[in-house]
Structure 1
Amino acid sequence: MTNSPIGRRALLRGAAALAALPALAACGTGTSRSTGASVSTGSSAKTVAVRDSGGAYGEALKKAIYDPFTKETGITVQVANLDGAQVLAQINQGRPQVDLINITMMDGAKFIRENALEKLDLDRIKNLKIAKLPENQITEYAVSHSFYAQCMAYRTDAFDGRKPESWADFWDAKAFQGGRSMCNPDADLPELEFALLADGVPMDQLYPLDVDRAFKVLDRIRSGVKKYWDSGPLPGMLLTRQEVTMTTVWHGRLADLVKQGVPVAAQLNGARRQFQGYAIAKGAANLDAAYQLFDYSMHPDVQARLAMAYPSNPSSPLAYDKISEEVRNGLAGAPQYYDKGFDADIDWWLKNEAAVSKRWLGWARG
């Protein structure tokens, strides 16, 4: 299963074709030091089942959130590494295997259309007031806990000491020579915004996207694109093997490469943000425990602890003050970088993703 650090665009594809659903994979209780994050009390439930995407991100969640939560509350966290299509099919069949769902806010909107989520009682998530989340990240059915940024990455040894500053530079194959890689819609949304930014559209005037104009700009770079990546590690591999000099990438995927000494860096000008959130499955068996884990996860201390374990960008602005300077400076959500990027317009993409992805696939085939 291909995982992004925080979410995938293909989560809901193929739900109707699911014939069998896997069982939960249990996650043991933790021994990590707990924080002072408040947790609601009064539940008799001793287990909560949560969906996340597994991999290194799943291990970080276990270390930073699940194990400390178990130690503090006595509630065992069971983890299901299911994709969204599986979770949705389970809920539609009236037998959800998870209580709390870790999901992109965009895919959460798709779940809402399927009546697959519980309407939240926000009074039971008391740490929301402490976290001071932006209002647009709190909805009736899901609340953001973090975001990931899709941006430009490049080899620092490729351009005689120069570094690309904008998407226009990404498109400039004369000044910044070498192959390119861009995202396949199986991994994330088509990168129309980057094309429009390269063509001079101001960042605050991107939406509604001018699709025709974006594809004309994409035409200018198509011959230089050596690979369309469909998994999180692939852009880093292409850079490491010097198959390309520049690529789009999920920003969090660069941290390990830098630690390994690979000469790569990110350019966060024009980065596209997509938010990840929590939602509760319709018919959740352990509703009280789900609210307790939901509440616990929203506290700024807990969000900061996750960011120290994995390059995840907390949605709480207060969390960044609790992260070491070294780690904070490597996050796309750090104060010095935040205004350089923009939020993906979920409403626009919900209406247009299918048509744009179909057109993109035809375009990529030439």
Structure 2
Amino acid sequence: MEHRFGRRALLRGAGGLAAAAVLPSLAACGTGTSRATTGGGSKTVIVRNSGGAYGEALQKGIYTPFSKETGIEVKVVNLSGTQMLAQMKQGRPQFDLIDNSLAQFARWVPENVLEPLDYDRIPSFKSAKLPENMVEEHVVGKSYYVTLMAYSTQAFGNKAPGTWADFWDAGAFAGNRSMGNPDADIPELEFALLADGVPMDKLYPLDVDRAFKAMDRIRPHIKKYWDTGNLPGVLLSRREVALSTVWHGRLDQLIAGGAPLAYQLSGGRRQAQGHAIPKGAANVDAAYQLIDYTLRPEVQAGIAKFYPANPAVAAAYDKLTAEERAKLPGAPEFFDKGFDVDIDWWLKNESAVSKRWREWARD
């Protein structure tokens, strides 16, 4: 399977990686000098991830077997973006490897707080054949997450919402809704445009005015704008809402436990997730070893068995059963049902759009 992403890659290829300014209007302001050397063969690596069910799955699917194979202990910290940036600007981060979205890393590149990656220190990189836009000077992708529609299977009888137009149709699919706010992720304007009839391949550049007009139509039915990943599942389980946007994978444990909930894979918004090494990291060798381990197809497939993180390594899907692939919007049979966030567009417009969204939500 060949992954195709919609946004322009920030850097092209790995062999001749060249620096590129992601946000040219921002000046680099890193202050500390880097401690990143060989790492001295450390037997410890400290990783920052977002925790929760995702963090638990990383522990089971990656960190524990990695430690067993290499003898390197993996310690985990859960820090906010603000906390991480503050530490990195001081030049002494209390972590060696960051697991985060490529959009967040792109915001940090101009701050001069991330180490340029040496891809020769990642032996599995070439065979991984990552999508083009997951290969950048400071960041290497590993998976992606998807924001999509979830709903209560008890809310609509024998009907089930199949498109964003259905989400917007409070007549045919009555009930309260929930959507994310900018504290959780970038505003969900793409869903409004899809509901209004814009084809997926014509979304960008986003027609912001048209999107907000569409949002006006659904607003009376929005009970809650969620700001944490677990809240949609709570609202749906309590029957406080009948439909919600949600980060894919956040409902799986509830569904496995018998909760009458389901996903709709059509129209899912994909965002890439990856690894970066902060300047000043103390255990660089160990960080590279963990990156390398993560890009093995069998490891990528393994993590997907614990949590539906969509592998970036195409060969990983060959190691999953049809039942396991059915839970992954990134599997070949579902890939064309979704679309990729145009990070370049959002980096240029996120501030203005989020400000407008907050004013709109207050009115």
Q: TM-score, normalised by structure 1?
A: 0.86
- Deviation digits for residues 64-85 of structure 1, max 9, x if unmatched? 1112111111212121111221
CA spacing shift, 1:216–1:287, aligned 2, 3 Å: same
The CA distance in 1 between the partners of 2:255 and 2:277, in whole Å, is 36
- Residue 270 (structure 2) aligns with: 273
CA spacing shift, 1:173–1:338, aligned 2, 3 Å: same
Gaps of 5+ in 2: 1-37
| Offset, 1:42 | 11
| Offset, 1:191 | 0.5
- Residue 101 (structure 2) aligns with: 104
- Residue 353 (structure 1) aligns with: 350
- Residue 321 (structure 1) aligns with: 318
SS in 2 for 1:256: helix
- Residue 36 (structure 1) aligns with: none
The CA distance in 1 between the partners of 2:113 and 2:347, in whole Å, is 17
Contact 1:180 1:244 in 2 (8 A): yes
The CA distance in 2 between the partners of 1:264 and 1:150, in whole Å, is 16
SS in 2 for 1:253: coil
Alignment of 1:110-189 (within 5 A): 110-189=107-186
Alignment of 1:228-239 (within 5 A): 228-239=225-236
Contact 1:100 1:279 in 2 (8 A): yes
SS in 1 for 2:250: helix
SS in 2 for 1:266: strand
Letter matched to residue 67 of structure 2: T
Letter matched to residue 127 of structure 2: I
The CA distance in 2 between the partners of 1:49 and 1:196, in whole Å, is 41
Contact 2:100 2:274 in 1 (8 A): yes
- State which of 299, 315, 335 in structure 1 corresponds to 2:332: 335
SS in 1 for 2:142: strand
Contact 1:130 1:300 in 2 (8 A): no
Residue 282, structure 1, aligned to residue 279, structure 2: yes
The CA distance in 2 between the partners of 1:295 and 1:43, in whole Å, is 18
- Residue 218 (structure 2) aligns with: 221
The CA distance in 1 between the partners of 2:86 and 2:157, in whole Å, is 52
The CA distance in 2 between the partners of 1:297 and 1:143, in whole Å, is 11
- Deviation digits for residues 233-268 of structure 1, max 9, x if unmatched? 111111111111111111211211211222221111
- Residue 297 (structure 2) aligns with: 300
Contact 1:64 1:305 in 2 (8 A): yes
SS in 1 for 2:329: coil
- State which of 237, 248, 251 in structure 2 corresponds to 1:251: 248
Letter matched to residue 121 of structure 1: D
- Equivalent residue pairs, number: 326
- State which of 184, 192, 195 in structure 1 corresponds to 2:192: 195
- Residue 238 (structure 2) aligns with: 241
CA spacing shift, 1:43–1:69, aligned 2, 3 Å: farther
Contact 1:43 1:289 in 2 (8 A): no
- State which of 300, 322, 341 in structure 2 corresponds to 1:344: 341
- Residue 4 (structure 2) aligns with: none
Q: TM-score, normalised by structure 2?
A: 0.87
Contact 1:120 1:140 in 2 (8 A): yes
| Offset, 1:43 | 6.1
The CA distance in 1 between the partners of 2:53 and 2:245, in whole Å, is 21
- Residue 69 (structure 1) aligns with: 66
- Residue 28 (structure 1) aligns with: none
| Offset, 1:312 | 1.1
The CA distance in 1 between the partners of 2:156 and 2:263, in whole Å, is 14
Residue 264, structure 1, aligned to residue 261, structure 2: yes
The CA distance in 1 between the partners of 2:307 and 2:150, in whole Å, is 19
The CA distance in 2 between the partners of 1:89 and 1:50, in whole Å, is 16
Letter matched to residue 251 of structure 2: L
The CA distance in 2 between the partners of 1:158 and 1:81, in whole Å, is 36
- Residue 87 (structure 2) aligns with: 90
- Residue 59 (structure 1) aligns with: 56
User: Which contiguous aligned blocks of 4+ residues in structure 1 show a shift greater than 6 angstroms?
Assistant: none
Letter matched to residue 244 of structure 1: V
| Offset, 1:232 | 1.2
CA spacing shift, 1:354–1:42, aligned 2, 3 Å: closer
Letter matched to residue 308 of structure 1: K
- Deviation digits for residues 287-346 of structure 1, max 9, x if unmatched? 111111111111111111111111211111111111233222112212221110001111
| Offset, 1:157 | 2.3
CA spacing shift, 1:42–1:281, aligned 2, 3 Å: closer
The CA distance in 1 between the partners of 2:162 and 2:51, in whole Å, is 34
The CA distance in 2 between the partners of 1:42 and 1:59, in whole Å, is 26
Q: Percent sequence identity over matched residues?
A: 64
The CA distance in 2 between the partners of 1:132 and 1:43, in whole Å, is 29
The CA distance in 2 between the partners of 1:103 and 1:237, in whole Å, is 24
- Deviation digits for residues 115-173 of structure 1, max 9, x if unmatched? 11011111211212222211111111101111111001112222231111211111111
